[in-house]
Amino acid sequence: MEGRQAQSSTVTPPGRYTLPPTRYFSEDILFCIDVDPESLVEMKVTGPTGRPFTRLDSIKQAIHLFINAKLAINTDHRFAFAALGKSAYWLRKEFSSDVDFATAAFRGITVDSSSGNADLTQLFRVAAHEAKKSRAQNRLLRVVSSWIHFHVTFSYIIGDLPIMELSIGP
């Protein structure tokens, strides 16, 4: 399984299931958060204050839970944050394993009312560059993207050849 390396093999008694001890590789995880106006659409769920959650609120909460779960597995995981409007841009460029770092990054999110179809090219370039830096430090890079747009067609083009199109929505 990617990201794990077995340290030793153990014999499991019949009828009992256990996982062999493993070492988890340290990961750099880049979150890319969509900041389209649709991210401010209120959901049917309300928070503890009685105010309805927005899609962006739900994404922030899910990321916080994910970060805490990943750090419970390996405290050496690090996180950075980018936003996606018309193009990708950094919220917090440096990777950190501090949970408060994520909260500070979330404060930097502003919704871009002018965003239309996002250019994912910049996100892929950033990810490729960060992957090289992570590999040099013997770490894995993961990119986790939240995408809120509906009724959007993605086109990934290399040179003059479209390699994939994906439509979302009715």
Q: Which of 22-36, 66-80, 90-104, 113-127 has the lowest mean pLDDT?
A: 113-127
**What is the spatial distance between Cα 167 and Cα 116, in angstroms, rounded to a whole number?**
15
CATH number of this structure's domain 32-168, picked from the four choices 2.40.10.10, 3.90.280.10, 3.40.50.410, 3.10.129.10: 3.40.50.410
pLDDT over 50 at 130, yes or no: yes
Read off the pTM: 0.70
Q: 28 and 135 in contact (C-beta within 8 Å)?
A: no
Over 78-141, what HEC string results?
Answer: EEEEEEECCEEEEEEEEEECCHHHHHHHHHCCCCCCCCCCCECHHHHHHHHHHHHHHHHCCCEE
Please give the structure tokens belonging to residue 87.
Answer: 């193009």
Q: How far is CA 21 from CA 17, 58, 68, 76, 100, in A?
A: 13, 34, 21, 18, 31
User: Regarding predicted confidence, which is higher, 148 or 161?
Assistant: 148
**What is the spatial distance between Cα 126 and Cα 145, in angstroms, rounded to a whole number?**
13
DSSP one-letter code for 148: -
Please give the structure tokens belonging to residue 115.
Answer: 């965003």
DSSP one-letter code for 16: -
pLDDT over 80 at 140, yes or no: yes
Question: How many Å separate Cα 63 from the centre of its chain?
Answer: 8
- Report residue 163's pLDDT band, with 50, 70 and 90 as the boundaries: very low
Q: What tens digit of pLDDT does each residue of 30-53 get?
A: 998 888 777 777 777 777 888 888
Q: Which of 28-32, 100-104, 142-146 has the highest mean pLDDT?
A: 28-32
Q: What is the mean pLDDT of residues 70-94?
A: 87
DSSP one-letter code for 21: P
DSSP one-letter code for 20: P
